[in-house]
């Protein structure tokens, strides 16, 4: 029996929309508009339950309590029309009951976000062939990802980051791609989650860093000294030897830690905080810059933010892209900028797709910007040309 998506929401329209979103990426679905009927459903351990918190009669919180009693490690996605605080506390409650919360969604629901959560969870269930091929974003197989790394099929594209007051290029973000021999260029969303779930991130990050350092050297020869930002995963900050490994690699490539920013997504930080804190502090002491990526999508508490020595805060591109039409997104972006500055961090906005958004961010005092409006991520040699033609 495969993974089934079970939707529990009293609003039938919403439930049907969720079901459609899940079926587009290859899942079978089942809708319940009454919690009581759902509780009579025979659950399989691979099922994913999308649970609306506010329902008449038995609400989502009561469902969580009942589910915890039957001891199945069901994966839950919590949904709420209330503010994010409600979702956050419900998530904490579910975790306290040993339930696995794989995502939270506030209404109006962002469908691509939901699909990503489902696919990621699905990858961890070890994909069955059939579902693989019906997925819109086909996830790679673990052995293919190993091959991509060992056969050097990964390549790096670079996206310029500009100083928003001077418009100078201050650095680049390195974004990995996979040049598949048959399928062409594959984006990280299709293989990073697979690498993460299969313990391949140490290898992958090592490969990326090596490639970045090589490209950086080549740019230096052409007179272009660029600060490079690299994305790292949760896995990377659980190995205590990481700071020393990085230092050794940098040393071999005549690069200083102050030339490198390590980007860590906000949601990563919710895991094993003690080990991460140890490693992140030592990285900072060695001179690396640390950036908190996709800020606004996780729930890092202000005290975490204060305890971890971040030098940079990156506003999630979702908020930035929505800024033109969405007052709330503007308020969030503005608050992130103020918060970052209060905590002595530089603030970067990614996902700037228009001059209008750029101008609003400048008026809010945002320090750095990147996005399609400035340039798309590109290969190392194109970046050199791009920079020379400015
Ligand atoms: P991220 O670190 O938040 O990277 C920014 C993403 O936003 C990139 O997607 C970039 O192409 C995209 N982007 C930039 N400007 C715009 C814009 O104006 N509009 C839109 N719609 N998108 C924009 P990409 O390259 O697909 O990477 C997705 C994610 O994959 C990254 O998000 C990062 O979390 C992860 N990733 C990429 N490379 C690596 C890597 O080497 N290691 C790890 N651990 N993760 C990586
Ligand atoms: Mg990033
Ligand atoms: Mg980001």
pLDDT in tens, 62-78: 898 888 877 677 889 99
Superfamily of domain 4-131: Response regulator (3.40.50.2300)
The ligand minimizing its distance to the Cα of 210 is 1
Q: Which fold has domain 142-389?
A: TIM Barrel (3.20.20)
Q: Where are the domains of the chain?
A: 4-131, 142-389
Ligand 3 centroid vs 233 CA: distance in angstroms? Answer: 12
Asked if 43 contacts 66 with a C-beta cutoff of 8 angstroms, the reply is no
- The percent of residues above 90 in pLDDT, for the chain, comes to 56
Q: Does ligand 1 have an atom closer than 6 angstroms to the CB of 268? A: no
Asked if 187 contacts 177 with a C-beta cutoff of 8 angstroms, the reply is yes
In angstroms, rounded to a whole number, what is the distance separating the alpha carbons of residues 15 and 59?
15
Residue 170 has pLDDT above 90, yes or no: yes
Query: What is the per-residue burial (b if ≥16 Cβ within 10 Å, else e) of 229-266?
Result: bbbbbbbbbeeeebbeebeeebeeeebebebbbbbbbb
Give pairs for 208-212: CB < 8 Å, separation 24+: 208/154, 208/156, 208/174, 208/176, 209/246, 209/249, 210/249, 211/154, 211/155, 211/156, 211/174, 212/156, 212/174
Residue 245 banded pLDDT, cuts 50, 70, 90: confident
pLDDT in tens, 282-329: 999 999 999 999 888 766 667 777 778 899 999 999 899 999 988 888
Q: Residue 327 has what pLDDT?
A: 86
- State which of 61-75, 115-129, 144-158, 230-244 shows the largest mean pLDDT: 144-158
Q: Does ligand 1 have an atom closer than 6 angstroms to the CB of 298? A: no
Q: Does ligand 1 have an atom closer than 6 angstroms to the CB of 296? A: no
Ligand 1 centroid vs 148 CA: distance in angstroms? Answer: 19
pLDDT in tens, 137-164: 678 888 999 999 999 999 999 999 999 9
Q: Residue 270 has what pLDDT?
A: 61
Please indicate whether residue 83 or residue 137 has the higher confidence score (pLDDT).
83
Q: Residue 1 has what pLDDT?
A: 40
Ligand 3 centroid vs 328 CA: distance in angstroms? Answer: 19
Q: Whose CA is closest to 116, among 265, 8, 263?
A: 265
Q: Does ligand 1 have an atom closer than 6 angstroms to the CB of 235? A: no
Residue 197 has pLDDT above 50, yes or no: yes
Q: Residue 269 has what pLDDT?
A: 72
- Burial of 182 from C-beta contacts in 10 A (0-12 / 13-18 / 19+): exposed
Q: What is the mean pLDDT of residues 28-42?
A: 91
Q: Residue 135 has what pLDDT?
A: 42
Q: Does ligand 1 have an atom closer than 6 angstroms to the CB of 208? A: yes
Q: Which atom of ligand 1 is nearest to the CA of 373?
A: 18
User: How many helices and strands in the chain, by DSSP H and E?
Assistant: 16, 14
Please indicate whether residue 257 or residue 68 has the higher confidence score (pLDDT).
257
The ligand minimizing its distance to the Cα of 193 is 1
Q: Residue 312 has what pLDDT?
A: 96
Q: Does ligand 1 have an atom closer than 6 angstroms to the CB of 187? A: yes
Q: Residue 91 has what pLDDT?
A: 87
- Cβ partners under 8 Å of residue 146, min gap 6: 200, 203
Ligand 3 centroid vs 12 CA: distance in angstroms? Answer: 33
Q: Which atom of ligand 1 is nearest to the CA of 196?
A: 44
Ligand 1 centroid vs 157 CA: distance in angstroms? Answer: 10
Residue 231 has pLDDT above 80, yes or no: yes
98 phi-psi bin (left φ>0, alpha ψ -120 to 50, beta other)? left
CA atoms within 13 A on the CB side of 315: 34
- Threshold 0.85, pTM exceeds: no
Q: Does ligand 1 have an atom closer than 6 angstroms to the CB of 193? A: no
Asked if 116 contacts 87 with a C-beta cutoff of 8 angstroms, the reply is no
Tell me the Cα Rg of the chain. 22
Ligand 3 centroid vs 152 CA: distance in angstroms? Answer: 25
């Amino acid at each position: 029996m495969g993974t089934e998506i079970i939707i529990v929401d009293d609003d039938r329209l919403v439930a049907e929309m969720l079901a459609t979103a899940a079926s587009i990426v290859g899942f079978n679905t089942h809708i319940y508009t009454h919690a009581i009927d759902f509780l009579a459903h025979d659950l399989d351990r691979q099922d994913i339950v999308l649970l609306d918190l506010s329902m008449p009669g038995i609400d989502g919180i009561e469902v969580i309590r009942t589910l915890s009693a039957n001891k199945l490690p069901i994966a839950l996605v919590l949904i709420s029309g209330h503010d994010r605080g409600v979702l956050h506390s419900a998530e904490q409650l579910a975790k306290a009951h040993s339930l696995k919360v794989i995502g939270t969604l506030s209404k109006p629901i962002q469908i691509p976000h939901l699909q990503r959560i489902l696919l990621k969870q699905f990858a961890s269930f070890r994909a069955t062939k059939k579902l693989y091929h019906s997925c819109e974003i086909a996830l790679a197989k673990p052995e293919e990802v190993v091959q991509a790394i060992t056969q050097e099929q990964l390549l790096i594209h670079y996206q310029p980051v500009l100083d928003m007051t001077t418009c100078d290029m201050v650095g680049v973000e390195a974004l990995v791609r996979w040049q598949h021999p048959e399928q062409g260029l594959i984006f990280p969303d299709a293989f990073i989650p697979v690498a993460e779930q299969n313990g391949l991130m140490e290898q992958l990050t090592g490969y990326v860093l090596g490639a970045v350092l090589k490209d950086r050297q080549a740019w230096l020869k052409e007179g272009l000294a660029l600060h490079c930002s690299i994305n790292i995963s949760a896995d990377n900050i659980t190995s205590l030897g990481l700071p020393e490994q990085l230092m050794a690699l940098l040393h071999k490539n005549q690069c200083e830690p102050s030339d490198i920013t390590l980007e860590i997504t906000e949601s990563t930080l919710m895991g094993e905080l003690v080990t991460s804190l140890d490693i992140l502090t030592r990285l900072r002491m060695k001179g690396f810059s640390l950036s908190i990526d996709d800020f606004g999508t996780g729930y890092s508490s202000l005290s975490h933010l204060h305890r971890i020595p971040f030098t940079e805060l990156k506003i999630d591109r979702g908020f930035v892209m929505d800024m033109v039409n969405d007052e709330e997104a503007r308020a969030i972006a503005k608050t992130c900028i103020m918060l970052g500055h209060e905590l002595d961090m530089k603030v970067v906005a990614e996902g700037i797709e228009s001059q209008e958004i750029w101008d609003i961010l400048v008026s809010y005092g945002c320090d750095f910007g990147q996005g399609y409006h400035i340039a798309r991520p590109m290969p190392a040699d194109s970046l050199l040309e791009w920079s020379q033609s400015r």
